[in-house]
Structure 1
Amino acid sequence: MAPPSYVSFVPKRVLGKFMHVTDQPLKRPGGKSLVYFMGAGFCPFCAAERWAIVKALERFGKWEGLVEDKSAGHDEKYLNVPTFNLARAKYASDAVEFAGKETADRNFEPLQELDDKDYEILDMYNPDQMIPFLLIDGQYMQVGAGYSPELIQNMTHDKVKAELGNPNSAIGKAINAEIDNITALICKATGGKGSACNSDSVKALTAKL
C-alpha cells in the first residue's frame, strides 16, 4: 500500500463531517474500494455511526454475522446507544471491501488488537487513533459521528429501525442523511457501481464531490 501524496493538497469538508484528504485512492486487490472503520463498543458516537455504515454498505453488498449491541451503560456522555457489533461480522460485495477493528467492548474490555495493516492506515490518516474513524477509498475520512447519539440513546433496535422507515421522523432524517453521505462517497469511489448510485438524492450529493 503506497502512502498517499499530500503535497499541495488542502483537505476540505465535502459532505457532512467528511473531509476530502487526498486524491489518491486506496484500492484493494481486484480494484475494490476500501471502507475502513475503527471504533469501540463503549463509544456512543461509534454506536451511532455504525447504523449509517451498516445501512449504507447494505446497498452495495451483504452482511453476515451482525450482532445487535449497545454502547456503554456508564461513564460516557450518552448511554446505551443501540448499535451493531462489527467485530465478527463479515461483508461481501463486488465493489467494496470493508475492514475495521473494534478495539474494546461495551464494558471497556479489550476486544480486537490492531495489526500492521491497521497501523499502516492509521499512521497515514489518523495517527492519534481517534474514534470513531471512517475512511472511504483513502480519499474521504471522518472522525466522529455524522449525527448525535443523543437522538437514539436508550432506544431499542426495533424503534430505531422504525424511525429509519418514517419519512417524517427527525431521527430517521438525521440517520438517513448520513447513510446517503456514505453512499455518495462510495459511489464516487467506485464510479457509480450499484443501483443506490442512481437515486436522485445520492446523485445530488455525488455531484458536489
Structure 2
Amino acid sequence: MPAAVVAGIAVVVAAFWVIRWYTTPLPPKAPSQSETQVVLATITNLRASEFDTVGQGSANNLIKPVSGAKLVGSTGKPEVFYLGAEYCPYCAAERWPLIIALSRFGTFSGLETTTSSSSDIFPNTQTFTFRNAKYTSQYIDFVSVETLDRDQNALQSPTAAEQQLVKQYDTSGSIPFIDFGNQYASTGATYSPDAIGGMSWRAIADALKQPDSTQAKAIVGSANLITAAICKITADQPAAVCSSATIQNLEKTLK
C-alpha cells in the first residue's frame, strides 16, 4: 500500500478519535454522601397511596412465568437474582424500580451512585450500583452480580449455578436479567432509559413523588410489577404490601 494512502488512513482514524473524544458526554459529578442518602430516603419511603395511584403506569410487563426447581437463597428464603452491568443503560434504568420494590420487603445498605457508559446509547444514565450493596429481609434473599463496570472492565462473575439460570431463562443474553425464585423471570428494562435521560439523581427522586410525572409512571409502575412478582414468591407476605388491590390486580397479569 502506498505510503500516502497509509498516511491518509492514519489521519482519518486520528480525526475519528478526536471527534469522538470531543462529542462523548462527560459523566456527571457524583452527588455527596449526604445527597445520596436523601435520594435513597426519598425513593425507599414513597407513600402507599402513590403506588396505588400509579398502578402499572407506563411500565411494560416483561415478567413472565418460568418453571424449575424453586430458587432459594443462603438463608432458605425465596431468592431474587439480578444480573447486570454498570455500563448498561437498561440496567441503569431498571435498578431504580428494583431498589424501590425490594425496599418494600427489606433494607439496603452500601448502595452507591454511578452512571451508565458515556459512549453507549442513553449515555450517562444516572443510577445506583449493587456492586457493594448488602440487603436484609425476613421474606426474601437478594443476590446481585454486576459483571462489568461503566468502562466495561471486569467486575463480578456469576457462579456456575447462576450461569445456568441465565442460560436457561435468558436465551437472548439480554441484561438486565432478573429471576424471581425460579417462578418468574424478566429480561431488559420495563421502561425506556430516555424517561430519566439528562436528569440528576435528586431530580429523578423528586419526580417520583409526583404520581402524574413521566418518571413516576415509568419507575413506580415498574416497581409495582416487580413487587407483584415478589409477592407471588413470598405467598403474599408481608400483607401490608401484598394485600393492596393494586398488587393483587397486577399479580393476576403475571399468570
SS of the aligned residue for 1:161 comes to helix
Q: Which of these two proteins has the greater Rg computed from alpha carbons?
A: 2
1:106 maps to which of 150, 163, 171: 150
Greater strand content:
1
1:138 maps to which of 170, 182, 187: 182
Q: Distance in 2 between matches of 1:119 and 1:68?
A: 26
Any unmatched runs of 5+ in structure 1?
1-14
2:197 maps to which of 149, 153, 166: 153
Residue 96 of structure 2: aligned partner: 51
Superposed CA deviations along residues 77-131 of structure 1, whole A, max 9, x for unmatched, are 1111111110110000011111121011111111112222322322332255421
Superposed CA deviations along residues 25-56 of structure 1, whole A, max 9, x for unmatched, are 32235541111111111100000000111110
> Identity percentage over the alignment?
34
Q: Distance in 2 between matches of 1:23 and 1:124?
A: 10
2:219 maps to which of 175, 180, 200: 175
Superposed CA deviations along residues 148-174 of structure 1, whole A, max 9, x for unmatched, are 001112211111111111111021111
Alignment of 1:4-153 (within 5 A): 16-22=61-67, 24-28=69-73, 30-74=75-119, 76-126=120-170, 129-153=173-197
Q: Give the deviation of 1:19 after TM superposition.
A: 1.3
What is the aligned residue count? 194
TM-score, normalised on structure 2? 0.72
Q: Distance in 1 between matches of 2:153 and 2:192?
A: 24
The one-letter code of the counterpart of 1:198 is S
SS of the aligned residue for 1:207 comes to helix
The one-letter code of the counterpart of 1:154 is G
Any unmatched runs of 5+ in structure 2?
1-59
Residue 11 of structure 1: aligned partner: none
Q: Distance in 2 between matches of 1:126 and 1:167?
A: 32
